[in-house]
């Protein structure tokens, strides 16, 4: 991953990040996810993750865009510092940019998962994470 520097620079070279989203009560829920950064001409870096539309993290983000992210291993054990962030569920072309970035980074594993998920009827969403 080529990072643009700034608050997401510590994620360079990592395969997973822990995304903490917040319940209505304020309690945080941490989830390890794959992520990618697209090479866009934007003033701040954007990390992309994907999920199903009915996942807990998607539901929490619809209520509260506040998030925190940190590099982690595949089991969610945090390996670096937390960064405050804002998350947004993307639509249309913006979502396509994020999904292409994730597909490129995780070849062939993402394509294999896509094949098996075709048999399940879950809406796929892309989430953009920006520094707060």
pLDDT tens digit sequence for 40-62: 666 778 999 999 999 999 999 99
First to last CA, the chain: 21
State the total domains in the chain: 1
The answer, yes or no, to whether residue 112 has pLDDT greater than 70, is: no
Could you tell me if residue 1 is inside a domain?
A: no
CATH number at residue 122: 2.30.110.10
Report how far residue 79's alpha carbon sits from residue 82's, in angstroms, rounded to the nearest whole number: 9
Could you tell me if residue 17 is inside a domain?
A: yes
71-96 pLDDT tens trace: 999 999 999 999 999 999 999 999 99
Report how far residue 21's alpha carbon sits from residue 60's, in angstroms, rounded to the nearest whole number: 6
The answer, yes or no, to whether residue 3 has pLDDT greater than 60, is: no
pTM summary value: 0.85
Residue range(s) defining the domain that contains residue 118? 6-131
SS3 per-residue string spanning the chain: CCCCCHHHHHHCCCCEEEEEEECCCCCEEEEEEECEECCCCCCCCCEEEEEECCCHHHHHHHHCCEEEEEEECCCCCECCCCEEEEEEECCHHHHHHHHHHHHHHCCCHHHHHHHHHCCCCCCEEEEEEEEC
Percentage above 90 pLDDT, the chain: 67
What are residue 49's DSSP bridge partners?
127
The answer to whether residues 30 and 76 touch, using CB atoms and an 8 Å cutoff, is yes
The answer, yes or no, to whether residue 118 has pLDDT greater than 70, is: no
């Amino acid at each position: 991953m080529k990072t643009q520097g700034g608050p997401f620079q510590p994620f360079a070279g990592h395969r997973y990040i822990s995304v903490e989203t917040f319940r209505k009560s304020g309690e945080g829920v941490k989830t390890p996810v794959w992520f990618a950064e697209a090479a866009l001409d934007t003033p701040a870096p954007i990390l992309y993750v994907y999920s199903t539309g009915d996942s807990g993290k998607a539901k929490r983000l619809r209520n509260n865009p506040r998030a925190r992210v940190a590099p982690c291993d595949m089991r969610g054990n945090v390996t670096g510092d937390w960064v405050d962030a804002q998350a947004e569920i993307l639509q249309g072309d913006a979502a396509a940019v994020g999904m292409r970035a994730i597909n490129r980074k995780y070849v062939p594993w993402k394509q294999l998962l896509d094949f098996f998920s075709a048999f399940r009827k879950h809406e796929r969403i892309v989430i953009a994470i920006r520094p707060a």
